[in-house]
Structure 1
Amino acid sequence: MTDHRPLVTETPAEHPFAQFVRILGKGKRGARGLTREEAREAMGMLLDEQVEEAQLGAFLMLLRHKEESPEELAGFTEAVRQRLNAPAIDVDIDWPTYAGKKRHLPWYLLAARCLADNGVRVLLHGGGAHTAGRLYTEQLLELLDIPLCRGWGAVQTAMQQRHLAFIPLSDWAPPLQRMIDLRNTLGLRSPIHSLARVLNPLQARCGLQSIFHPGYQAVHREASRLLGDHAIVIKGDGGEIEVNPDTISHLYGTTAGADWDEEWPALAERRHVKPASLEPAHLVAFWRGEVEDSYGSLALLATMALALRGLGVERDAAFEQARQFWDRRDRNALSIA
């Protein structure tokens, strides 16, 4: 005999989060984007783990299909910041690193390290090695002697002692890390990869952002403007904050509620040939002055200049200061054991 489920005679109450899935997914004519307030409430429920698993997947993929708006990114960011409980830590540059590199080595890490050695306070944060075939910041922290901090207290100490810290997203926003980790379950990157670049959790003087896909740079700038942040958005190499010296770089800036733009010319006469493989030890040898690398030299100097530009230094002066920083680096600070 078959056991039958009991008949449902009363309509169950709708889940509170269902309204946000419906807003995004109600057909071609009925669907719309979230308002800033709706985005803040929806992200708050996600962060407080008040949603069902099916709702989470549906929400993320509907957003990915629609493409997130500046208002949504701003609302999401506000919800995250409201829940951080981070101490007041002085940071000059917020440096999100979530993409990983696959064509060139992560020269941006030498840039961040050199800036910090010269007193610029840099906060790096990332979401782990989530995509095969890429080289991530987390994999190079020990090699490049970048402090790994597993909490805000450790970040505060590292900033005081080294002006440099890396903190994993999983240690300050675990629900966001869980959403990023769904990448291999859903088959697509979720909008959290974009959101993480806007967050600037410690309200640094300048937030740097790299968005690889054309059109998204202006969206991110507008989100930062809505939040009242000072930020520069570029199309960095591979999606990381690293100026590609082989191409023209457009800076999408926002300061004190006003947008501004700059275009930096390519630094190389012709495109460099990408290396056959990515060997992290090459970064150390380059820092030590044991090898030369035309692409790496131009990329790290331009990336340092970008950060200095974010701190108010004009372009030409920023490049000159970057060269001075690099020339006086302690070549023995890095070594391969």
Structure 2
Amino acid sequence: MTSNNIEHPFAEYIRILGKGKKGSRPLTQDEAYHAMRMILAGDVEEIQLGAFLMLMRVKEETPEELAGFVTAVRETLPKIDTATADLDWSAYAGKRSHLPWFILSSLLLAEQGIKVLMHGSSSHSHKRVFVQDILPVLSLAKAESFADAEQQLKTQNFAYLSLQEFCPALDRMIHLRNLMGLRSPVHTLVRLINPFNAPYSIQGIFHPGYRPVHQEAALLLQQQHMTVIKGEGGETERNPDMQCLAQSVHQGVLSEEIWPPLFSRRHVKPKTLDSKQLIQQWRGEVNDEFAEASIIGTTAIALKLMAKADLQENAQQMATDYWHSRDKSRY
């Protein structure tokens, strides 16, 4: 606790953000980096953290701020061999209207030898289904550490690492949503961390305005290849009923492309979500056309990102072939 007569070092960053309409401004990338370093080190009072997060929420984070935050977080993580993971897949939103079919997309890629590192958090929003909570349905265990995730990537080409394991401070902040009543910049920042420094990263957002922010932040972070989409429910999942705009970064070059809807009509949302349907869909015990199109369509975007196919049509066909030739007894 700082003396009442001496200004706390973190007060500078709150003042920059909160000095009114004319006096406030965004943080520079360097300021954001130092602010996050203080937060992660526990050098910030609780009341300061709340004020900082909500001021950021009101003005909305810039690419420069996100890049500074992510750089600070990455410095706290263990060093990982860059060949450990091929594809970084963030999963923080949780699903409310549909099951998280994108999990099967990631497992489909893993079956083809692509090493997928998925990271996310446990439930922090009411009535949403999170990856971490349904991994047991697929007989998959979340990684208990970085070393465990590395081992899982070697043996099964897929690993799920929770935010609580690799950055407990951010995990605590993301769970402040119910206390604050609002999401915070942490929900954006965690999607960009790429903890295993994979050359390819795929991200999903809910609010379309955040697509270019993710894209430009990835550019500042020198991410080699990244694609961000407005995913179903905010997850990295293509909604087959809707047009999908994918904004990407490839070796320092920004680009975008539109993936067309796969159906001419929209499907009725299921009344309830039964996680057992995930394993049933994989095994071919049920045939939900929306689910299948979502799985294949999401896989196609990932394949296009990774240059496994040069055209959308080829990526879609490759993903379809993967799905039809999958090992139904695998899970």
TM-score (structure 1 length as normaliser): 0.94
**Tell me, what secondary structure is at the counterpart of 1:85?**
coil
Q: Please, which moves more after superposition, 72-81 or 10-19?
A: 10-19
Letter in 1 for 2:69: F
Letter in 2 for 1:276: K
**Tell me, what secondary structure is at the counterpart of 2:246?**
strand
Residue 279 of structure 1: aligned partner: 274
Residue 80 of structure 1: aligned partner: 73
Per-residue deviation at 1:11? Answer: 6.3
Per-residue deviation at 1:114? Answer: 1.3
Per-residue deviation at 1:166? Answer: 0.4
Per-residue deviation at 1:93? Answer: 1.0
Per-residue deviation at 1:86? Answer: 3.2
Letter in 1 for 2:249: T
Larger radius of gyration: 1
Residue 261 of structure 1: aligned partner: 256
Deviations 1:280-304 (A, max 9, x none): 1111111111111110010000111
Partners of 2:64 and 2:6 lie apart in 1 by: 29
Letter in 2 for 1:302: G
Aligned pair partner of 1:243 in 238, 252, 255: 238
Aligned pair partner of 2:26 in 18, 28, 33: 33
Per-residue deviation at 1:331? Answer: 1.0
Residue 135 of structure 2: aligned partner: 141
Partners of 2:171 and 2:116 lie apart in 1 by: 21
Residue 125 of structure 2: aligned partner: 131
Cα RMSD for the two superposed structures: 1.2
Residue 5 of structure 1: aligned partner: none
Deviations 1:273-322 (A, max 9, x none): 11111111111111111111110010000111111111112222211221
8 Å CA contact 1:113, 1:146 repeated in 2: no
Matches within 5 A, 1:173-188: 173-188=167-182
Structure 2, unaligned runs of 5 or more: none
Deviations 1:24-72 (A, max 9, x none): 0011111100000000000010111110000000000000000000000
8 Å CA contact 1:86, 1:152 repeated in 2: no
Structure 1, unaligned runs of 5 or more: 1-9
Identity over aligned residues, as a percent?
Answer: 45
Structure 2 residue 190 is the aligned partner of structure 1 residue 196: yes
**Tell me, what secondary structure is at the counterpart of 1:333?**
coil
Residue 333 of structure 1: aligned partner: 330
TM-score (structure 2 length as normaliser): 0.96
Deviations 1:57-96 (A, max 9, x none): 0000000000000000001011111111233252111111
8 Å CA contact 2:17, 2:26 repeated in 1: yes
Residue 15 of structure 2: aligned partner: 22
Residue 4 of structure 1: aligned partner: none
8 Å CA contact 1:107, 1:300 repeated in 2: yes
Matches within 5 A, 1:202-221: 202-221=196-215
Partners of 1:279 and 1:47 lie apart in 2 by: 37
Structure 2 residue 168 is the aligned partner of structure 1 residue 171: no
Per-residue deviation at 1:333? Answer: 2.1
Residue 308 of structure 1: aligned partner: 303
Aligned pair partner of 2:99 in 102, 105, 108: 105
Q: Please, which moves more after superposition, 129-138 or 312-321?
A: 312-321
Q: Please, which moves more after superposition, 299-308 or 140-149?
A: 140-149
Aligned pair partner of 1:232 in 227, 230, 234: 227
8 Å CA contact 1:248, 1:265 repeated in 2: yes
Per-residue deviation at 1:113? Answer: 1.1
